[in-house]
Amino acid sequence: MTTVSMIPASLPLWHLDTPYPSQDQMCYPDGIEHILAHDGRTDILPFLHDVTIAAHEGRIYIAWYNSTDAEICGSSLIRGRHSDDDGKTWSEPFSIVGKIDSAEEHFVPANLFIHDGYLHATITEMTGKNMTSSVHLFRKGEGDTWSRVGQIQHGFICNTPPIRLPDDPTGVSSTSRYISPAWMPMKNSTPAFPAVLLSQGDDISAEWEPVLLFDPLNPASPRIRCPETTLRVDGNRVFAFVRNDTGPAWVFSSDDFGRTWSSPQHFAPMSVGNSKLFAGTLSDGRRYLIYNEDRGYFERSLLVVAFTAPGESQYSKVYKLFDGVEPAFDRGSKWFYPCAVEQDGFLFVACTLQEPSDQRSAVLAKIPVGSL
C-alpha cells in the first residue's frame, strides 16, 4: 500500500473576485427538465439509493442499489434501466448482480463507466452495513446481461466512477491509468478514511493499487464518519472532494496523478452540506461540481451545480437543480447523491429523491449545455 506524503495545496476553488450567491439568489438553468426515471412508489423493493449514470452508444444507462428492507438490510442488489431517447422513456428494470432471497451478501453501490468500448461498473460487496469485503468489476454483455470480470480491491467503498488519467510524462506508468475515489469504513479501532485506487494501466480487471489520502492512525488526521469522495482531474493535478459530517467538506490535492496528497483544506466560501459530491468536466473543458447546499445536518433539500468559466479553474457560477417539492413530480423533500454525464448537448444529473414518507425514487435533471 502506497504511503502518503504531505504537499501544500494552493489553488482556491472559488473565484475570489466573484461573490458566492446566497441560496435565494440561485436560479434554475434555462431549459432544465426534471425526469422521473424509476418510480419507487410502484416498485416491490422499498429502499433505493446511490444512482449512477453513464452514456454508451447513444443510450443513457442508470443503475442504483435496492434493499428489501431498510438500507443494506435484508437483501441488497444492483438494478438499472436504460433510455434510447435521452430520458423520455425507459426500459423495464434489469439486474446487474444480487438476489432478493440472499441476506448474506449485499452489493452497494455501483459506478458506471466506459472502457475499451464496453460499459463497466465497479460494485462494492458487503456482508452488512459498512462491513465491506471486496470491490468487483462488472462488464455489460449482450442485451442487459452482466458478468463479473475481476476483483479489483478489498474492503473499500466506491461511490463515484473511475476517471481516466492523462498519460504520465514522467514514465512512472507506461500507459495512462484509471483513478477511482474510494473510502474505507471504520474497522475495529481504525477510523474511516478516504483513498484512491489506481488501475494497472489498461488492465482494469487486475487488482488496483490503493493510495491513502492521509494516515488514519495519526491523531492529527481528520476524523470523518463517511468520507465519500469524488475526484476532479486537471492534468497531473487531482482534487479529492471529501464529504464531512461535522463541518465543511474537505479538499485534498495531488500534483503527481494521485500518488501523494496534500494536507486537507476546507471549501470556502462554497456552502457544501454533509452529503456525497460529484465532480465532472464538460466536453468544452468547463469543470463542474454538484453538491447539496448546507441547510443544516442532513437537510438535503437543495441540490446545486457550480461551474467554472471557459478556460478557468475556479468555480464562479451556481445553479439550482432540485429544491424542495418538484412540480413536475408533485413530490419532494430531499435530493442527494448525484452523478452526471453529458450526451447529445445535454448534461444529465441523476440523484436519489426521498419523499417525506421516506419513499425513494431515481430522478434526473436534464439541462441543455448551451444554457449553462
- Grid look-up 463517511 returns 226
Diameter over CA atoms, the chain: 56
- Average pLDDT value for residue range 339-364: 97
CA 144/CA 326 separation, integer angstroms: 31
Q: Which of 291, 322, 357, 360 is nearest to 34 (CA)?
A: 322
- Average pLDDT value for residue range 6-17: 66
Which fold would CATH assign to domain 25-371? Neuraminidase (2.120.10)
Asked if the model's pLDDT at residue 248 lies above 90, the reply is: no
CA 76/CA 279 separation, integer angstroms: 26
Q: Are the C-beta atoms of 81 and 38 separated by less than 8 Å?
A: yes
Asked if the model's pLDDT at residue 17 lies above 60, the reply is: yes
Bigger pLDDT: 236 or 267? 236
- Of 258-272, 325-339, 352-366, the least confident: 258-272
Sketch the domain layout of the chain as residue ranges: 25-371
pLDDT bin (cut points 50, 70, 90) of residue 189 is confident
Q: Are the C-beta atoms of 293 and 271 separated by less than 8 Å?
A: yes
Asked if the model's pLDDT at residue 10 lies above 50, the reply is: no
Q: Are the C-beta atoms of 92 and 79 separated by less than 8 Å?
A: no
**Amino acid occupying residue 255:** D
Asked if the model's pLDDT at residue 172 lies above 70, the reply is: no
Phi-psi region of 171 (alpha: psi -120 to 50; beta: other; left: phi over 0): left
Alpha helices, H only, the chain: none
pLDDT reported for residue 266: 85
What pLDDT, in 10s, does the model give residues 122-168? Answer: 999 999 888 899 999 999 999 999 999 999 999 999 999 999 999 87
CA 89/CA 136 separation, integer angstroms: 30
CA 242/CA 181 separation, integer angstroms: 10
Look up residue 14 and give its DSSP letter.
B
- Average pLDDT value for residue range 333-337: 97
